[in-house]
Structure 1
Amino acid sequence: MTRILTVPGWGSSGPEHWQSIWEREHGFQRVEQQDWETPQLRDWVAQLDEAIGQSEESTVLVAHSLGCQAVAHWGCCVINHPVKAVLMVAPPYLDGPDVPAELQNFVPMHLEPLPFQVLVVASSNDPYASLEQAEQLVQAWGGQLVNVGEKGHINSASGLGDWPEGYRLLQALLEPYCVDP
């Protein structure tokens, strides 16, 4: 059996966000954070590690936005528990002058190969990472990139609802593990 954990980004994922919908429709579990508004990297990574360690089941992560950066930090520096694969959706690129003060503790980004399969989903008009920047993250993490076209930050503001295209990408990612989420 494979367990799916969602890892929301800054501010969490509201009820209309595809992550929240997937949790309701498919029983995925959310990695909860103590503070969604003023994220602390150390705390987010510790919460992620604790959530992964709560089960002996194989784990696949579905991260969005800043949650992707937390997963990258965890994968490069902590890894106390195994993860099979990660679907990273709309990871922000945090190397630049426009990084909000609240996110400065997530800098520098970890840009090393991750020890699990990584599928990065990017939008061609994401305000937080250009396709070129998303490709740099993919190259560093040793993953694969899927460009889903103009979908903004691939969040509830993008009007995706349950985002069937993303769910199909997750199913393809899970296929090697013979799991039907």
Structure 2
Amino acid sequence: MTTLIIPGYRGSENGHWQRQWLLEDETSQLLEQDDWDNPDLSQWLHVLEAALAETPGAILVAHSLGSILVAHLASRPSAAHVAGAVLVAPADAERMAAWDKKFASFAPLPRHKLSFPSVVVASRDDPYMSFNKAQALANIWGSGFVDMGNSGHINVESGFGSWPEGHVLADSMRRPHQSFRAQRAA
């Protein structure tokens, strides 16, 4: 079963846990966007849907704006090809669009139940989405929820390298009967 690694805005820099997973997990593949610096929901969805057509039954492991991309995908027919999703440190595209119009196509945030099993992983001090909003979205999306405590944006800057606990969450999507509601992975 393929693990599709889905970075957010600007891709995942060297040392990011998503990049390390590509080295550690032989089933993982990077979803490579044409332009990481200028996010466009329509274009990014097209790339994701093409990847899903080639790897049906994939587990999606998304970070930041990539998590919001996956949430938007959930209402499209190609979502039927998703086995499950781990949505790490979702970015508040509504707030980001207020700062910079380049994020406007990702807003408003999807507010419907996701059509595949999912878990949201959120930090209490993430500068890109409030903990309460992440928790509320997880409830709306029907996602499990993992409270990472004070872990910043769950990236290199906040001290996350390989992040083995994330592998456990991704593996749980291969066994969708597990629940991560209100558990802590750190």
Secondary structure of the corresponding residue to residue 12 of structure 1: coil
Q: Work out whether residues 79 and 116 of structure 2, in 8 Å CA contact, stay in contact via their aligned partners in 1.
A: no
Whether 1:11 and 2:16 are equivalent positions in the alignment is no
The separation in 2 between residues aligned to 1:91 and 1:99, in whole angstroms, is: 17
Corresponding residue number in structure 2 for 1:101: 101
The separation in 2 between residues aligned to 1:95 and 1:24, in whole angstroms, is: 33
Corresponding residue number in structure 2 for 1:111: 111
Alpha-carbon distance, 1:168 to partner: 2.1
Task: Report how many aligned residue pairs link the two structures.
Answer: 175
Superimposed CA distance per residue, residues 44-77 of structure 1 (whole angstroms, 9 cap, x where no aligned partner)? 0010000111134x21100000001111111113
The separation in 1 between residues aligned to 2:63 and 2:79, in whole angstroms, is: 21
Point out the more displaced range, 150-159 or 70-79: 70-79
Divergent runs of 4+, >6 A: none
Point out the more displaced range, 88-97 or 20-29: 88-97
Residue ranges of structure 2 left out of the alignment (5+ in a row):
178-186
Corresponding residue number in structure 2 for 1:162: 162
Residue ranges of structure 1 left out of the alignment (5+ in a row):
none
Corresponding residue number in structure 1 for 2:87: 88
Letter matched to residue 25 of structure 1: E
Q: Work out whether residues 5 and 31 of structure 2, in 8 Å CA contact, stay in contact via their aligned partners in 1.
A: yes
Secondary structure of the corresponding residue to residue 79 of structure 1: helix
The separation in 1 between residues aligned to 2:114 and 2:104, in whole angstroms, is: 22
Alpha-carbon distance, 1:8 to partner: 0.4
Corresponding residue number in structure 2 for 1:171: 171
Superimposed CA distance per residue, residues 60-119 of structure 1 (whole angstroms, 9 cap, x where no aligned partner)? 100000001111111113426511100000001223474422211111111111110010
Secondary structure of the corresponding residue to residue 76 of structure 1: coil
Secondary structure of the corresponding residue to residue 84 of structure 1: strand
Corresponding residue number in structure 2 for 1:67: 66
**TM-score, length basis structure 2:** 0.88
Superimposed CA distance per residue, residues 18-69 of structure 1 (whole angstroms, 9 cap, x where no aligned partner)? 000001111210111011001100000010000111134x211000000011
Q: How does 1:6-155 map to 2 (within 5 A)?
A: 6-27=5-26, 28-56=28-56, 58-79=57-78, 81-96=80-95, 98-155=98-155
Identity of matched residues, %: 37
- Relative to structure 1, the CA distance from residue 93 to residue 86 in structure 2 (aligned partners, 3 Å threshold; closer, same or farther) is same
Q: Work out whether residues 59 and 170 of structure 2, in 8 Å CA contact, stay in contact via their aligned partners in 1.
A: no
Alpha-carbon distance, 1:161 to partner: 1.1
Letter matched to residue 124 of structure 1: R
CA RMSD of aligned residues (A): 1.7
